Amino acid sequence: LHLIKKKETVLNPLIQSLSDVADSVKTCSICGNLDNTDPCRICSDPTRQAPIICVVQDVADVWALERSKTFKGVYHILGGTLSALDGIGPEDLRIDRLVKRVQEVQAQEVILATSATVEGQTTAHYIADCLADLDVQVTGLAHGIPVGGELDYLDDGTLNAALSARKSIGDDL
Ligand SMILES: [Zn+2]
């Protein structure tokens, strides 16, 4: 109702903005990110480390990782996860492109940052198998206790993962 009432000042400019976005957004031909340039700003940034590729499920995951400002490599967006239930197979994801890309840029490391769900981890294992014969280090994100998290509030799965992936305290100091 608010939009219709303010047709001239709100609704029409909004329609115009959405239409501009629809016209200008492109899918990056290298990583699958959404941007108004192709290659996207991350792929064309010479300060990023192209041999370190972080594999994620979705564009939203790229945004989340970029917010943390800690990752200086590049991304590869799969567009989902393997799921027998939903009929999503390897050919529906950008896995072939990833294998090709790893060879083309002679990647040093592929970080599998898929979700800590059954589908996410199945997808990560599948990709690790695809990359096994290539000369590249394949790593995964650590799972565990969030920064500022209290043990009391954590679910069993998170606590188990954190406990089994424990490391010597001196490692980071
Ligand atoms: Zn890109």
Cα separation, 140 vs 121, whole angstroms: 10
Structure confidence at residue 168 (pLDDT): 85
Please state whether beta strands 49-56 and 109-112 pair in parallel, antiparallel, or not at all (unpaired). parallel
Calculate how far, in angstroms, residue 38's C-alpha sits from the geometric centre of ligand 1. 7
Handedness of CA 71, 75, 80, 81 (dihedral sign): negative
Calculate how far, in angstroms, residue 27's C-alpha sits from the geometric centre of ligand 1. 8
Please state whether beta strands 26-27 and 34-35 pair in parallel, antiparallel, or not at all (unpaired). antiparallel
Calculate how far, in angstroms, residue 105's C-alpha sits from the geometric centre of ligand 1. 14
Question: Which residues of the chain are under the pLDDT cut of 50?
Answer: none
The per-residue pLDDT for range 93-126, each reduced to its tens digit, is 999 999 999 999 999 999 999 998 899 999 999 9
3-class SS at 63? helix
Tokens 């990560």, residue located: 124
Structure confidence at residue 148 (pLDDT): 85
Calculate how far, in angstroms, residue 150's C-alpha sits from the geometric centre of ligand 1. 37
Structure confidence at residue 173 (pLDDT): 56
